[in-house]
Amino acid sequence: MARKPASPTRDAIVQALMRLAATQPWNTIEVTDIAREAGVSLVEFRDLFPSKGAVLGAFSRMIDKEVLEGTTDDLAEEPARERVFDVMMRRLDAMTPYKAALRRISYAVRGDPLTLAALNQVALNSQRFMLAAANISTEGPLGLLKLQGAALVFANTLETWLDDDDPALARTMARLDRELKRGERVLERAEDFRRLTAPLRALGQTLFDRRRRTRRPRTRERSEDGDTTDPAAAI
């Protein structure tokens, strides 16, 4: 099946936001400014995005797609760290045309914990696919740790990249290498801890199952329309 082409209007709005962010403070950019810059009406803007933050999220997905489209199996036999290094450097390469805008946005949101929390969720979603491109599993008990670790590695590397004007990006690559090595050590310790605590977790599960069997069954919760609540809906 052919891939559905990107919406020209959506792309125009994303590009408009990044042009504005490259030349003026992030906190002064209004949705009306973005619509005017993109040459679209507020109705068209609202139909696609609820806020300028949502446009920034669309920018992140645009970068995701560019990295994924350039992914090959050339490094399939390389160690995991080398594969992740390659994917993250390709992500930075894709972001290079927007470096001025990203520098301004980064400086503007550093003191805003709510915005940082929202951007961290965007980063987690992106890193899920970046790690998949590097053939790194994010399922299982340590999946969330891998995702958050990858997001932190990239965020720390981004700080160096934003101020690294050397075309060779030597400082950026050195920072990324250090961050990945540190992340590997954290993950190894987490895996060791999980192995050591496996007997305790097994015992706890046994006790929990035994206690649950002795309790009287309870009616399952239902949503307002009468349907049984689906826990998978939260995924």
Domains (range + CATH), the chain:
8-70+80-193 (1.10.357.10)
CA distances from 193 to 86, 145, 186 (A): 29, 13, 11
> Sign of the CA dihedral 87, 142, 160, 62?
positive
Read off the pLDDT band of 209 (50, 70, 90): low
Read off the pLDDT band of 226 (50, 70, 90): very low
Q: What is the pLDDT of residue 227?
A: 43
Q: What is the pLDDT of residue 92?
A: 97
Q: Residue 228: helix, strand or coil by DSSP?
A: strand
CA distances from 90 to 53, 69, 107, 122, 162 (A): 24, 11, 23, 18, 15
Q: What is the pLDDT of residue 12?
A: 97
Q: What is the pLDDT of residue 124?
A: 94
Mean pLDDT of 125-151: 91
Q: Judge contact between 42 and 120, C-beta under 8 A.
A: no
Q: Judge contact between 103 and 162, C-beta under 8 A.
A: yes
Read off the pLDDT band of 76 (50, 70, 90): confident
Mean pLDDT of 192-208: 53
Instruction: For residue range 86-99, list pLDDT tens digits in order.
Output: 999 999 999 999 99
Q: Count of residues for the chain?
A: 235
Contacts of 61 (CB under 8 A, 6+ apart): 126
Query: If you average pLDDT over each of 18-22, 218-222, 224-228, which comes out highest?
Result: 18-22
**Cβ–Cβ contacts within 10 Å for residue 151, how many?**
21
Mean pLDDT of 17-25: 97
> Could you tell me the pTM of the whole model?
0.77
User: What is the token pair recorded at 51?
Assistant: 């806020």
Secondary-structure percent of the chain, ordered helix, strand, coil, rounded to 5:
70, 0, 25
C-alpha span between 34 and 2 (Å, rounded): 31
C-alpha span between 97 and 86 (Å, rounded): 19
Average pLDDT over the chain, rounded to an integer: 84
